[in-house]
Amino acid sequence: MKKLNPQNDRVLVKPIDEGEQMYGNIVIPDMGKEKPEMGEVVGVGPGRHTEFGAFVVPTAKIGDIVLVPKIGSLRIDFEGQEYFVVPDREILCTVEETYNAADDHELV
Protein backbone atom coordinates (compact mmCIF):
# COMPACT_ATOMS: atom_id res chain seq x y z
CA MET A 1 0.00 0.00 0.00
CA LYS A 2 1.30 3.46 -0.91
CA LYS A 3 0.85 6.65 1.08
CA LEU A 4 1.30 10.31 0.19
CA ASN A 5 3.47 12.32 2.62
CA PRO A 6 3.50 16.08 2.02
CA GLN A 7 6.91 17.75 2.21
CA ASN A 8 7.93 21.07 3.78
CA ASP A 9 4.86 23.27 4.36
CA ARG A 10 2.64 21.46 1.87
CA VAL A 11 -0.83 20.29 2.86
CA LEU A 12 -2.67 17.35 1.26
CA VAL A 13 -6.41 18.06 0.92
CA LYS A 14 -9.07 15.54 -0.12
CA PRO A 15 -11.96 17.32 -1.91
CA ILE A 16 -15.38 17.07 -0.34
CA ASP A 17 -17.82 15.95 -3.03
CA GLU A 18 -21.06 17.86 -3.04
CA GLY A 19 -22.70 14.92 -4.78
CA GLU A 20 -25.93 15.03 -6.71
CA GLN A 21 -28.98 17.16 -6.05
CA MET A 22 -32.54 15.84 -6.17
CA TYR A 23 -35.63 17.81 -7.07
CA GLY A 24 -38.60 15.57 -6.36
CA ASN A 25 -37.86 12.32 -8.19
CA ILE A 26 -35.47 13.95 -10.67
CA VAL A 27 -31.74 13.48 -9.99
CA ILE A 28 -29.47 16.26 -11.24
CA PRO A 29 -25.95 14.82 -11.62
CA ASP A 30 -22.94 16.94 -10.73
CA MET A 31 -21.59 16.85 -14.29
CA GLY A 32 -20.69 20.26 -15.61
CA LYS A 33 -20.23 21.76 -12.16
CA GLU A 34 -16.85 23.04 -11.08
CA LYS A 35 -14.91 20.84 -8.70
CA PRO A 36 -15.32 21.81 -5.05
CA GLU A 37 -12.81 24.12 -3.45
CA MET A 38 -13.61 22.77 -0.01
CA GLY A 39 -11.80 19.74 1.32
CA GLU A 40 -10.54 17.84 4.34
CA VAL A 41 -6.88 17.96 5.32
CA VAL A 42 -5.51 14.39 5.21
CA GLY A 43 -1.80 15.15 5.41
CA VAL A 44 0.48 17.96 6.60
CA GLY A 45 4.20 18.40 6.01
CA PRO A 46 6.58 19.09 8.91
CA GLY A 47 7.15 22.77 8.05
CA ARG A 48 9.71 24.94 6.30
CA HIS A 49 12.69 27.14 7.03
CA THR A 50 12.46 30.83 6.14
CA GLU A 51 15.27 32.68 4.40
CA PHE A 52 16.35 33.93 7.85
CA GLY A 53 16.60 30.39 9.26
CA ALA A 54 13.43 30.41 11.37
CA PHE A 55 11.34 27.23 11.25
CA VAL A 56 7.64 27.76 10.43
CA VAL A 57 5.22 24.99 11.45
CA PRO A 58 2.05 24.63 9.30
CA THR A 59 -1.16 25.84 10.93
CA ALA A 60 -3.39 23.28 9.17
CA LYS A 61 -4.14 20.08 11.06
CA ILE A 62 -5.34 16.69 9.86
CA GLY A 63 -9.13 16.65 9.92
CA ASP A 64 -9.56 20.41 9.30
CA ILE A 65 -12.09 21.40 6.66
CA VAL A 66 -10.47 24.09 4.52
CA LEU A 67 -11.06 26.22 1.45
CA VAL A 68 -8.28 26.17 -1.14
CA PRO A 69 -7.88 28.48 -4.14
CA LYS A 70 -8.78 27.22 -7.60
CA ILE A 71 -5.55 28.66 -8.95
CA GLY A 72 -2.37 27.90 -7.03
CA SER A 73 -3.22 24.44 -5.76
CA LEU A 74 -1.86 21.40 -7.53
CA ARG A 75 -4.52 18.79 -8.34
CA ILE A 76 -3.26 15.23 -8.42
CA ASP A 77 -4.85 11.83 -8.92
CA PHE A 78 -3.41 9.14 -6.65
CA GLU A 79 -4.79 5.60 -6.83
CA GLY A 80 -8.11 6.80 -8.22
CA GLN A 81 -8.64 9.59 -5.66
CA GLU A 82 -8.25 13.29 -6.42
CA TYR A 83 -6.27 15.48 -4.01
CA PHE A 84 -5.12 19.09 -3.78
CA VAL A 85 -1.55 19.82 -2.74
CA VAL A 86 -1.28 23.39 -1.52
CA PRO A 87 1.23 25.34 0.58
CA ASP A 88 -0.08 25.95 4.09
CA ARG A 89 0.20 29.71 3.68
CA GLU A 90 -2.16 29.61 0.67
CA ILE A 91 -5.10 27.97 2.45
CA LEU A 92 -7.86 30.58 2.37
CA CYS A 93 -9.68 29.63 5.58
CA THR A 94 -10.86 26.80 7.78
CA VAL A 95 -14.52 25.91 8.09
CA GLU A 96 -15.87 25.44 11.59
CA GLU A 97 -19.30 24.23 12.57
CA THR A 98 -20.91 26.36 15.25
CA TYR A 99 -23.92 25.74 17.46
CA ASN A 100 -26.40 28.45 18.36
CA ALA A 101 -28.98 27.52 20.99
CA ALA A 102 -31.35 30.21 19.66
CA ASP A 103 -31.53 28.34 16.33
CA ASP A 104 -32.54 25.07 18.02
CA HIS A 105 -36.32 24.92 17.48
CA GLU A 106 -36.81 21.54 19.07
CA LEU A 107 -39.86 21.31 21.32
CA VAL A 108 -39.20 19.92 24.76
| 31-46 confidence digits (pLDDT tens) | 555 544 889 999 999 9
Distance in angstroms (rounded) separating the CA atoms of residues 36 and 56: 28
Distance in angstroms (rounded) separating the CA atoms of residues 15 and 59: 19
| 45-99 confidence digits (pLDDT tens) | 999 999 999 999 999 999 999 999 887 788 999 999 999 999 999 999 998 877 6
Q: At 100, is the secondary structure helix, strand, or coil?
A: coil
Question: According to the model, what pLDDT value does residue 34 have?
Answer: 53
Angle, vertex CA 68, rays to CA 75 and CA 70, nearest 5 = 60
Question: According to the model, what pLDDT value does residue 103 have?
Answer: 63
Task: Set out the domains of the chain in order of their start, with CATH numbers.
Answer: 10-17+34-103 (2.30.33.40)
Higher pLDDT pick, 96 / 27: 96
Higher pLDDT pick, 16 / 98: 16
64-to-30, 36, 49, 67, 70 alpha-carbon distances in Å:
24, 16, 23, 10, 18
Question: According to the model, what pLDDT value does residue 30 have?
Answer: 57
**Residue 104 pLDDT exceeds 50:** yes
Under 8 Å between Cβ of 66 and 42: no
The pTM for the full model equals 0.73
